Amino acid sequence: MRRPTTSGIGTDCRLPAKTSLLMKRNALCLKYKRRPLVEKDRDILGRTTVVTTNVHYAVKRIRRNAVARIVTA
């Protein structure tokens, strides 16, 4: 049986079609660069309120052997 490889993961922000990632617990670490920023805009004539939120973060793989790529036919 072939051992799952992790080569190529993390070099691009998208996975190829029919590809999935299987991860163990604590395989990734999230680092928030700043607190969530919430903005609100009110249109009094249209009687609508728009609320947006932005969160900036970075992701790092901390356990190399905890991520496996699965390719289906």
Tens of pLDDT along 23-66? 898 898 988 888 889 999 999 999 999 999 999 888 888 888 88
Q: What are phi and psi of 48, to 5 degrees?
A: -130, 155
Pair 71, 21: CB distance under 8 Å: no
Vertex 47, ends 46 and 51: CA angle to 5°? 105
Comparing CA positions, the residue from 34, 22, 29 lying closest to residue 66 is 22
Q: What single DSSP character describes residue 10?
A: T
pLDDT band at 2 (very low <50, low <70, confident <90, very high): very low
So what's the pLDDT on residue 8? 52
Q: Are 63 and 25 in contact (CB under 8 A)?
A: no
Is residue 10 predicted with pLDDT exceeding 80? no
Residue 17 has pLDDT above 60, yes or no: yes
pLDDT at 13 over 50: yes
